[in-house]
Amino acid sequence: MSSDQIVRKPLRVSERSSRTLDQRLSLRYPRLAAAYLRLIGKMPPGSRLRQATLWRGVRLGVEAYNRRDLDAVVIGWHPEFEYHTGREWARSGLAEPCYRGLEGYRKYVAATEEVWGEENYLRPVELIDLGERMVMLADGRMRAQASGVPLTEAFALVTTLEDGRTVRLQEYYDHGEALKAVGLSE
């Protein structure tokens, strides 16, 4: 992929948020949201409309995750999406390697909250649009449920899009590893 097809921009979220009007409309009319996302997905990464839509959508999704509004998190995700957990989580037995659909994702979030409680918070740093894939680099802030020990860890999410909708997500706990997975270097 040539560098003119890659768009990298900082990404920030609000500490406090609530559902926006467009999120409420997208949840009420998912077919309309899917049609809109198909149009956005066809645009090249350099398109200003695509950039504005993706950055806003990811920002709102992370804010929804931070407040545990999982219905709002998955706006724009295909109903049968796959969420692949970080290898460390799967190897340790704390999570399954893959969860499918919203119910599977709810199960994954519940599993992480058993270990980290509800103080699991993502602070995004950068979003990279590669066309059919995106990479979100973030820092995860957590507090162990049993010991109360706080932890800040690198977190990255590689998202695969199909027709403008998320069909696959892969977690990484190393920014360099995520960038390498999509053919980029730090």
Write out the two tokens for 40. Answer: 């956005």
C-alpha span between 4 and 38 (Å, rounded): 22
Q: How many helices (H) and strands (E) does the chain have?
A: 7, 7
The type of residue at 65 is: Y
Measuring CA to CA, which residue among 151, 158, 155, 152 is closest to residue 175?
155
97 in Cβ contact with 90 (< 8 Å)? yes
Among 48-52, 58-62, 110-114, 175-179, where is mean pLDDT lowest? Answer: 110-114
Q: Residue 80: is its pLDDT beyond 60?
A: yes
C-alpha span between 90 and 84 (Å, rounded): 9
pLDDT band at 96; cut points 50, 70, 90: very high
108 in Cβ contact with 96 (< 8 Å)? yes
Which residue is associated with the tokens 């800040």? 152
Residues 9-37 have a mean pLDDT of 93
C-alpha span between 27 and 119 (Å, rounded): 26
Write out the two tokens for 6. Answer: 């890659």
pLDDT score for 88: 86
User: 3-181 belongs to which CATH class?
Assistant: alpha beta
pLDDT score for 185: 80
- In this prediction the pTM is 0.90
pLDDT score for 2: 55
pLDDT score for 111: 85
C-alpha span between 90 and 94 (Å, rounded): 6
Residues 112-140 have a mean pLDDT of 89
Mean pLDDT of the chain: 90
Write out the two tokens for 22. Answer: 């467009």
pLDDT score for 3: 55
Residues 85-94 have a mean pLDDT of 87
Domain ranges of the chain: 3-181
Residues in Cβ contact with 29 at an 8 Å cutoff, skipping those fewer than 6 apart: none
